[in-house]
Chain A
Amino acid sequence: MAEPLALILREQFHEPSQQRETATLGMWIFISTEIMLFGGLFLAFTVYRMYYPRAFIAGSADMNIALGATNTAALICSSFTMALGVHSAEIGSRRFLNLFLALTMVLGAVFLGIKFTEYYLHYLDHRVPGPGFFFAGADASKAEMFFLLYFIMTGLHALHMFVGEGILFSMILRNRAGSFSAEYHTPVVLAGLYWHFVDVIWVFLFAIFYIEGLHLHKW
């Protein structure tokens, strides 16, 4: 039971297609600001990676590749379920939309759970930068830079994940209230864009923090 069109069309717009296109453009602009935001951090990482290659590779070797890879798999699957959710909205299937939104949230929660477990393990191993930091090996002080960037960048990413979970939850609530239909489901599409973006950022984070030192892992 979709809501009447008149209630969904905001005052400032003439027609639904204008509203939809403008809102979508708005989300893409927002995503470009996020790219610049993370971009600054990636720049800092690149600079210090160039200055201290040995230390950064050693730091990367210290990461828990199993947890990192699991997290990557969870997020990629969550993007898949999100895409299925958007598709469900497009064909007007509210039941499946609920299901896939919930699945996406669950996978996101799995990611966050593993991430914070990793943080805790790092804390136990004294990898948290600051007075308590400890890293065996000659490159200790430079490895601290690696871990500092790791915590800041993955922390910022985790913050975005939390916001994403909130957005997904609000989508579920609105869907249950009957706001979405095959004719109108723009918020779901935009939520999907945001979620995919956060996923893509993670893929890059995974690459720079986990993959580099793979060859040094003892399997």
Chain B
Amino acid sequence: MATVAETPAVERNYLNQGEGILSWLFTLDHKRIAILYLVSVTMFFFLGGLFALLMRLELLAPRAWLFNPEDYNKLFSMHGIIMVWFFLIPSIPTTLGNFFIPMMIGAKDLAFPKLNLLSWYIFMFGGLVTVFALIRGGVDTGWTFYTPLSTTYLNTYVTAAAAGVFIAGFSSILTGLNFIATIHGMRAPGMTWFRLPMFIWTHYATSLVLVLATPVLAVTLLMMGVERVFHVGIFDPALGGDPVLFQHMFWFYSHPAVYIMVLPGMAVISEIIPTFSRKPLFGYDFVAYASMAIAAIGFLVWGHHMFVAGLSVYSAMAFSFLSYLVAVPSAIKVFNWSATMYKGAISWDTPMLYAIGFLGLFTIGGMTGLFLAALGIDVHVTDTYFVIAHFHYIMVGGTVMAFLGGIHYFWPKITGRLYPEGLARLSALIVFVGFNLTFFPQFVLGYLGMPRRYAAYPAEFQMLNVLSTAGASILGVGYIFPLCYLLWSWKYGKKAGPNPWRATGLEWTTASPPPKDNFEVSPVVDGPPYDFGRMREELHLG
């Protein structure tokens, strides 16, 4: 690998090369675009989180006491729409992916920088349309827009909300396209496919799903919108349509979408664990193949969202079988990450704490997926809080933890500053405790039979709901702390050197923050990633 660059005496970096708001709004620099996205997704995260908080407050009591049921229905719908499409799907790829994919492969920028900026504008436009729907009165279809409820029976801003999501989808597609082209065509000399950091492999798999699945969502929402606006019947049985067809098309996208949401989290974990264990990623080849397998098999399991929806018994069996198959590569990855820690030299820095939390919570979330894949089990727990707990363990216990871990890990490189370690570790602990208190009781609630999307519930479910709400308030605090201290550290944090974690990887060979063109000298690669042994001298190890 390339030698470590000298820290420049005069700090000209991507942040100060070009002043003024216009230089940011018209930037073509992937790092600045990543920052634009970071600001956007953070705003959406807290907006979606606010809805969650309001929902949990409502659920403190069995009767609808804080909101009437119609408004509660809007809350969970908006929470889902904003969190899925405006936070989870863009989060890691558009922030850490945009920033670090070129750097990790030794390139100056992505393949198509203008397309990258366009992606952000499209994303913001879609967000604007959705927020418009929100302000004008909200949407109450659930994030799943099932027909004929959404097309014929509701009077809220369904079309506007769907339009916002439709628009944002194009942003996803363009980002995925950019990443694929970049990873194929912009690698530094010597950076062969099997020398790529696992972050790149995993984002590559994510991008394949992004470009192939998202168009199906676009066309599904388009047809739903046409039906609603022109009063024709594509999915409405009263007019000759088939509501189950909508579900098939919707889930054909939305199942791969969950892999779009979790694979980037896995990408971050694959970087953090080797660095903080100071060992190569165990079973690199297998982790790479597993990522691709998750992307591929992930396209074949959508029917497991429809086991009680009217599938034939034989289709259901096929989908159940495939759902178990897709669990295997995820298991392989968890084992490999754990094995990476074995006999390592482990440090408990905040990114590693988040990664360890990810291992536990993603494993629980994945295991409960095994429950749901079992046909007989799913009949009882589908459409209950069991499913809600399952996907929150993966999305929040998995992706959000990985996102926070990645933000902390890459913070010194992005900003040139260190965050306050003590406060950060405390926050990680608060998040972990708050998360489990919020969502573990929901597994029990689901088994007991509490259905999803209920504004009011039988009194015997109250205690578990109160526990869950208590957890949610702790979790909220856990998220607000990093927002504050990270912002604080950007101005007042201790200055960071090029490689505070002594990680391998091209991105750590350049200054913190990096110069506009990423590298003073274009790197040349001559060895595998995570090779602490080969780099012992540069990293002052052993």
List chain A positions with a Cβ less than 8 A from chain B. Answer: 11-14, 18, 21-23, 25-26, 29-30, 32-34, 36-41, 43-44, 47-48, 51-52, 129-131, 141-142, 144-145, 148-149, 152, 156
Complex contacts, B110 vs chain A, CB 8 Å: 12
Over the window 217-254 of chain B, the binary record of Cβ atoms lying under 8 Å from chain A Cβ atoms (1 yes, 0 no) is: 01110110010001111100001111001000100100
Separation of A29 and B112 alpha carbons in the complex (Å): 13
Given A11-B109, A37-B218, A141-B239, decide whether A148 and B180 contact each other with a Cβ distance below 8 A.
no
Tell whether A33 pairs with B113 under 8 Å between CB atoms, given A12-B108, A43-B249, A148-B234: no
Knowing A36-B212, A130-B231, A152-B223, the reply to whether A26 touches B249 (Cβ < 8 A) is no
Establish whether residues A33 and B240, one from each chain, have CB atoms under 8 Å apart when the complex forms: no
Residues of B within 8 A of A22 (CB): 111, 181-182, 184-186
Our pick among B109, B173, B239 for the contact of A33 (Cβ within 8 Å) is: B173
Report B514 CB to chain A, min CB distance, Å: 15
Chain B's nearest CB lies how many Å from the CB of A209?
16
Contact with A along B377-420 (1 / 0, CB 8 A): 00000000000000000000000000000000000000000000
Checking B107, B232, B245, B522 against A129 with a beta-carbon cut-off of 8 angstroms, the contacting residue is B232
Cα-based distance from A23 to B178 in the complex (angstroms):
10
* Residues of the A chain whose Cβ atoms lie less than 8 Å from the Cβ of B233: 144-145, 148
Complex formed: what's the CA distance from A129 to B108 in Å?
A: 52
List, sorted by A's number, 22 A–B pairs whose CB atoms are closer than 8 Å: A11-B108, A11-B109, A12-B109, A12-B111, A18-B186, A22-B186, A25-B180, A25-B184, A29-B180, A32-B211, A33-B177, A37-B219, A40-B249, A40-B252, A44-B245, A44-B249, A130-B230, A130-B232, A145-B234, A148-B232, A148-B234, A156-B222
Q: Do B245 and A26 touch across chains, with their CB atoms under 8 A apart? A: no
Q: Are B113 and A12 in contact (CB under 8 A)?
A: yes
Contact indicator A36/B108 (Cβ below 8 Å): no
Expressed in whole angstroms, the minimum distance between the Cβ of A32 and any Cβ of chain B is: 7
Residue B216 interfacial (CB < 8 Å): yes
Which residues of chain A are near B522, meaning CB under 8 Å?
14
Contacts of A32 in B (CB 8 A): 211-212
Query: In the complex, are the beta carbons of A145 and B241 less than 8 A apart?
Result: yes
The CA of A144 and the CA of B240, in the complex, are separated in Å by 9
CB neighbours of A41 from chain B (8 A): 219, 223
Is the pair A44, B108 in contact by a Cβ cutoff of 8 Å?
A: no
- B216, A36: Cβ atoms closer than 8 Å: yes
Chain A binding site: helix, strand, loop or mixed by DSSP?
Answer: helix
Taken residue by residue from 184 to 215, chain B's Cβ proximity to chain A (1 for < 8 Å, 0 otherwise) reads as 11100000000000000000000000011111
- Give every chain A residue within 8 A of B177 (Cβ-Cβ): 26, 29-30, 33
Interface residue SS majority, chain B: helix
Question: Which 9 residue pairs of A and B lie closest in terms of their CB atoms, listed nearest first?
Answer: A22-B185, A40-B219, A37-B215, A36-B215, A12-B109, A26-B181, A40-B216, A129-B232, A29-B177
CB neighbours of A23 from chain B (8 A): 111, 181
| Contact in complex: A12, B107 (CB < 8 Å) | yes
Contacts of A129 in B (CB 8 A): 230, 232
- Does the CB pair A26–B216 fall under 8 Å? no
Contact assessment for B216 and A39 in the assembled complex, using a CB-CB cutoff below 8 Å:
yes
A47 to B223, CA, bound (A): 14
When distances are taken between beta carbons in the complex, the residues of chain A under 8 Å from B214 are 33, 36
B228 → chain A closest CB, angstroms: 12
Q: A144 — which chain B residues lie within 8 A by C-beta?
A: 232-233, 239-240
Question: Which A residues are in CB contact (< 8 Å) with B111?
Answer: 12, 22-23, 26
CA gap between A128 and B242 in the complex, in Å: 20
Distance between B447 CB and nearest chain A CB, rounded to angstroms: 36
Contacts of B249 in A (CB 8 A): 40, 43-44
Name the A residues within 8 Å of B241 (CB-CB): 145
Within the complex, what minimum Cβ distance (angstroms) separates A21 from chain B? 6
Nearest-neighbour CB distance to chain B for A78, whole angstroms, equals 25
- Determine the chain A residues whose CB is within 8 A of the CB of B185 once the complex forms: 18, 21-22, 25
What's the nearest-Cβ distance from chain B to residue A14, in Å?
Answer: 8
Having A51-B242, A129-B230, one finds 18 other A-B pairs with CB under 8 Å, namely: A12-B108, A13-B186, A18-B185, A22-B185, A26-B112, A26-B177, A26-B181, A33-B173, A34-B215, A36-B212, A37-B218, A37-B219, A40-B218, A40-B219, A145-B234, A145-B241, A149-B234, A152-B226
